A and B are shown apart, each in its own frame.
Chain A
Amino acid sequence: MKKKLTFAAALLAASVLGGMANAKQLVYCSEASPAGFDPSPWSGGNDFDASSRTIYSRLVEFEHGKTTITPGLAESWTVSDDGLEYTFKLRPGVKFQTTDYFTPTRDLNADDVIFSFERQWKKENPWFDYLAGTGWEYFAGMGFPDLLKEIVKVDDLTVKFVLNKPEVAFLPDLGMDFASIVSKEYADQLDKAGTRQQFTQKPIGTGPFQFVDYQVDAVIRYAAWDGYYGGRQKIDDLIFAITTDPAVRAQKLKAGECDIMSYPAPADIAGLKADPNLKVDEQEGLNIGYMAYNTTQAPFDKVEVRKALNMAVNKQAILDAVYQGAGQAAINPIPPTMWSYNKEVKDDPYDPDAAKKMLTDAGVTDLSMKIWAMPVSRPYNPNAQRVAELIQADYAKIGVKAEIVSYEWTEYRERGKQKDRDGAFQLGWTGDNGDPDNFLFLLGCDAIGQSNYAIWCDQEFEALLQKGKATTDVAERTKIYEEAQVVFKREAPWLTIAHSKVFMPMNKKVTGFVMDPLGIHRFDGVDVAE
């Protein structure tokens, strides 16, 4: 208590002396340094937290704490009957941030929208290569280069996106970070000055906070943007204190050096909950941890073998030992919080005796296989090595000998993609736009060699996947995806392990923070009690 008082007194004294009296600040202990402040070239969650969600806005936004789409910079939109044309009416009077390095002379208009996408799309655009070796991975990864036909300026405040094929997830895609809208006027100014690099170092957007300063690997400072179209924020200063180690972040939160922190270590959660000054919000994560069989290699090419192996695993033991209660058994490849989740699908029951019999009936005896364990902790699987050990013990009970293998993280994923990979491969996924397709695409035929580690190309599933992408009616899509989940469970290309919970510890004086199912850390609407 004494320590807290001392710190508070020091802070108060410093604020007064530093001329910052009455400035309300929120300190967020973030987990990593952003690569830059341009929201589009990078794909890390920490990059997005520091750029797109603080400084920028998008045509459409995810409703705070949900995955439903709400108007953003576009106040309304229409979709043509064939699903190929999306016309957006821009919100008038949206101001780009005014800073000591840029003063806008005009409000947001269609040119900014077109520039924001074309710089990622068209190689002839002078900004395509403004950062050496930028691949615009997210834009490409979401299939935008093939999807977009043209973007047309109808008038200053109307933009039309013309697609090559219908894409039902197009609106959620536009709510994603890479689709943030940047200022063309600012880009033109930097072009003239020959200082393009500044675009990512000194960002300008239309979001709730404006950039103030970045001390590399240490501190990012933002100030509330007075002209934000959504209204000025209650906090004046937002500070990211970059702290890579989760145990140190927890200590900083306890010591009052930050008000809120990301990604606590599972082991620290109980201690944080016990602290009288802190509260720990929690939410079901929009994620899945799974283990993919190589469905092209014998004996895993047989459904009965995959089913038998699934039935041999005691998921509850994994949830208790590894997720420490902060997770639930996964049945489908999409989490239960997502629309179109099929509640009728039943999990393969834990039944070692039946599993053993199924294996024998399938003609498989003396099976030796590999279980792949990721070398890193992820929100969807905090300890893959431990999961592998538990599965190994379960397999031993049905006479299957399993060897656990692990490689360095990038090497692990590379080896996992190999067509002749032996055994079952642990990985997972965290959704990034709240659409079921954003999970199910992992099992698509096109994703083989990329994110389909089961190397599974099932024609029935693929047809449903494609049908779902081309259908706009949500009720109809729900039916399609429910059916796809039935096919998935019947064919069992994965052992679905768990959906984990995500925790957000913060000081009790922090109000208005809403946990986001997409794993985004948003600070608009947050307040700090005096």
Chain B
Amino acid sequence: MLRYLLHKLALIIPTVFGISLAAFAFVRLLPGDPITALAGERGVSPERYAELVERFGYNRPYVVQYLEYIGRVLTGDFGISLATKRPVLGEFQALFPATLELATIALIIAVLIGIPAGIFAAVKRGSWFDQATMGVALTGYSMPIFWWGLLLIIFFSGYLGWTPVSGRIGLQYFFKPTTGFMLIDSLISGKSGAFRSAASHLVLPAIVLATIPLAVIARQTRSAMLEVLGEDYVRTARAKGLAPRRVIGLHAFRNALIPVVTTIGLQVGTLMAGAILTETIFSWPGIGKWMIDAIAKRDYVVVQSGLLIIALIVMAVNLIVDVLYAVINPRIRVQ
């Protein structure tokens, strides 16, 4: 198991370097630059432009800039935001709990609904339930997040008045964050109604963010289950006279779980990407909105370091998923 883990870790190192290089190059390949972006319509004179390029060090060769950047990152220094002048890591730490909270709730919704829906669709293959579930899943998968989010806001918040429009908690609740997770902080605060307010603010963004992963998980679960349900051992289990629930739950589902877990792991990346739009619509103060703002301002430091940190997190989650495989299926460890 340890060898397996070390092997996986060894693969991560070149990936991290690759991503750091890609993030560094990506932001510089974007048209425009931070100095022009910061100057706005007023513009900046060529002399002033040259002075600022010099000050930021953007006139040096890319190789030098990259090596200096990666050197700093290796010592834990992710740089200072060009726009806000605050340390990138500090900004990330302040905002990440909001994204993590939203993504976790969204993933829970996606798994709790997606897996049972996929199983039932597979078991009742060809039924109206199967067709309806897969139809809804396809619709969910194809839905533009921005439009979907706005639609939910207009209907549930505007028309019905059931949920708040945006934000993380009602403005009447004011307390210093302890963990950064609003559900937990609102409980700790001891203020009456705070938890309820925080939870109600989570509902719509979590549903919006969960939509695509839910669709993917449901479809993946269904196809994995269909494959397994046709296997000999399932037929044997049935022939032995095991209860259908036992056949599906113990024999079929357990074996169908590997591709499903893989899919869930991969959804972490999807959630991070989806968070960008979801957070923008719902004014959710997380890293998605932060990255969008940074790209608009050509804040090189935030974009390259932010992408790297996000990639590190996604890789860490994927590593955990890999380890989970090994736990679920011992053959993987041997391979």
Can you list, as one digit per residue, whether each of B126-160 has a CB less than 8 Å from chain A (1) or not (0)? 00000000000000000000000010011001101
In the docked arrangement, what's the CA distance between A429 and B38, Å?
16
Can you list, as one digit per residue, whether each of A63-94 has a CB less than 8 Å from chain B (1) or not (0)? 00000000000000000000000000000000
Stretch of A168-176, A291-299, A356-364, A402-410 that contacts chain B:
A402-410
Contacts of A13 in B (CB 8 A): 193
The reply to whether A248 and B41 form a contact with Cβ atoms under 8 Å apart is no
Contacts of A449 in B (CB 8 A): 45-46
B40 contacts the other chain (Cβ, under 8 Å)? yes
| Given known contacts A14-B173, A450-B45, A245 and B31 CB-to-CB distance under 8 angstroms | no
- A11 closest partner in B (C-beta): B172
The reply to whether A43 and B85 form a contact with Cβ atoms under 8 Å apart is no
Contacts of B33 in A (CB 8 A): 410, 414
- B40 closest partner in A (C-beta): A43
Q: How many residues of B contact A (CB 8 A)?
A: 62
B42 contacts the other chain (Cβ, under 8 Å)? yes
The reply to whether B172 and A410 form a contact with Cβ atoms under 8 Å apart is no
Contacts of B48 in A (CB 8 A): 135, 140
In the docked arrangement, what's the CA distance between A244 and B41, Å?
20
The reply to whether A414 and B193 form a contact with Cβ atoms under 8 Å apart is no
Question: Which B179-209 residues have a C-beta within 8 angstroms of A?
Answer: 191-193
20 of the cross-chain contacts (CB-CB < 8 Å) are A14-B192, A25-B171, A131-B85, A133-B80, A134-B85, A135-B55, A137-B44, A213-B174, A218-B167, A218-B285, A219-B171, A244-B283, A245-B283, A251-B157, A251-B165, A254-B158, A255-B158, A255-B165, A408-B30, A414-B32
A20 contacts the other chain (Cβ, under 8 Å)? yes
The reply to whether A243 and B283 form a contact with Cβ atoms under 8 Å apart is yes
In the docked arrangement, what's the CA distance between A417 and B36, Å?
12
| Given known contacts A200-B85, A216-B94, A252-B166, A18 and B45 CB-to-CB distance under 8 angstroms | no
Contacts of B160 in A (CB 8 A): 3
A2 contacts the other chain (Cβ, under 8 Å)? yes
Cβ-defined partner of A257 (8 Å) among B45, B86, B167: B167
Task: Pick the 8 closest A-B CB pairs, nearest first.
Answer: A410-B32, A3-B161, A411-B31, A217-B285, A14-B172, A218-B285, A131-B85, A450-B43
| Given known contacts A135-B52, A141-B42, A248-B165, A407 and B85 CB-to-CB distance under 8 angstroms | no
A17 contacts the other chain (Cβ, under 8 Å)? yes
The reply to whether B37 and A410 form a contact with Cβ atoms under 8 Å apart is yes
B26 contacts the other chain (Cβ, under 8 Å)? no
- A416 closest partner in B (C-beta): B43
Contacts of A18 in B (CB 8 A): 172-174, 191
In the docked arrangement, what's the CA distance between A35 and B176, Å?
21
Cβ-defined partner of A14 (8 Å) among B80, B170, B285: B170
Q: A18-B173, A252-B166, A410-B33 are in contact. List 10 more A-B contacts (CB 8 A).
A: A18-B174, A25-B171, A35-B83, A201-B86, A215-B285, A219-B167, A255-B161, A408-B30, A450-B46, A451-B42
Can you list, as one digit per residue, whether each of A307-327 has a CB less than 8 Å from chain B (1) or not (0)? 000000000000000000000
In the docked arrangement, what's the CA distance between A495 and B329, Å?
71
B289 contacts the other chain (Cβ, under 8 Å)? yes
Contacts of B177 in A (CB 8 A): 215
Distance in Å from the Cβ of A408 to the closest Cβ of chain B?
5
A6 contacts the other chain (Cβ, under 8 Å)? yes
Question: Which A372-407 residues have a C-beta within 8 angstroms of B?
Answer: 407
The reply to whether B150 and A218 form a contact with Cβ atoms under 8 Å apart is no
In the docked arrangement, what's the CA distance between A127 and B250, Å?
68
**What interface size band does chain A fall in?**
35 or more
Question: Which B38-72 residues have a C-beta within 8 angstroms of A?
Answer: 38-46, 48, 51-52, 55-56
Question: Which A181-231 residues have a C-beta within 8 angstroms of B?
Answer: 197, 200-201, 213, 215-219, 221
The reply to whether A248 and B282 form a contact with Cβ atoms under 8 Å apart is yes
- B30 closest partner in A (C-beta): A408
The reply to whether A241 and B172 form a contact with Cβ atoms under 8 Å apart is no
- B290 closest partner in A (C-beta): A217
Q: Which residue, of B30, B56, B166, has the highest number of chain A Cβ atoms within 10 A?
A: B166
A517 contacts the other chain (Cβ, under 8 Å)? no
In the docked arrangement, what's the CA distance between A80 and B262, Å?
77
In the docked arrangement, what's the CA distance between A451 and B83, Å?
22
In the docked arrangement, what's the CA distance between A408 and B36, Å?
12
Contacts of A286 in B (CB 8 A): none
| Given known contacts A410-B36, A410-B298, A216 and B161 CB-to-CB distance under 8 angstroms | no
Question: Which A429-460 residues have a C-beta within 8 angstroms of B?
Answer: 429-430, 447, 449-451
Question: Which A2-35 residues have a C-beta within 8 angstroms of B?
Answer: 2-4, 6-7, 10-11, 13-15, 17-18, 20, 25, 27, 32-33, 35
B101 contacts the other chain (Cβ, under 8 Å)? no
The reply to whether A217 and B289 form a contact with Cβ atoms under 8 Å apart is yes
| Given known contacts A248-B282, A255-B158, A41 and B85 CB-to-CB distance under 8 angstroms | yes
Q: Which residue, of A27, A133, A221, A427, has the highest number of chain B Cβ atoms within 10 A?
A: A133
| Given known contacts A217-B289, A410-B298, A450-B44, A133 and B36 CB-to-CB distance under 8 angstroms | no
